[in-house]
Structure 1
Amino acid sequence: MNIPEEFKKPPVTLGDWIISVIVTKIPLIGFIMLIVWAVDKNTDPNKANWAKAELIVKLIGFLIVIIFIAIIGIGFFTNFADQVDWSDFD
């Protein structure tokens, strides 16, 4: 019976997962490591899928923050523009 190579590898240990999670919490290095783990062919498939999922979640969170900041910014500048007496700038 032929078993695929990815099933012949031992599972990722608890210690490896803890180190991986801690590394991802380091601001810029964690993001870079997620990209490396997601695209590296030598990374365990479970860890690669986890890294891809983390990147997707981080991207969604980043987009939500950008939209939130844009909405607040538009509201602030709209309110600011309504309060300015533009005739003073003639």
Structure 2
Amino acid sequence: MKVVLLAALGLFLGTLGGAALGIGAGLAFVEIAQTTNFEGQNGMLVFFTFMPLGAAIGGISGAVLFGLLAMRDDAIALEREPAAPGDR
């Protein structure tokens, strides 16, 4: 259950981060390629091409990364161990 929940969290966070990076990459591409801005073509290119691609790639990679981290219990401590009676 922990793996599924962390994979869903990774999907959500990866989608948000990937969409933001996609917008940044799209804006950089528009400036470097000097595409025409007739009737908002630059905005449509960025928000209908680069943002969905970035969101898809980021979502998949975030879900895979968080899922792999959750499966490795020894590498990341997700649950605290109960304190021993004499450790206070």
Shorter-normalised TM range: 0.3 to 0.5
Give me the TM-score of the superposition, normalised by structure 2: 0.39
Give me the TM-score of the superposition, normalised by structure 1: 0.38
Considering Cα pairs closer than 8 Å and 6+ residues apart, tell me whether 1 or 2 has the greater RCO. Answer: 2
Larger radius of gyration: 1
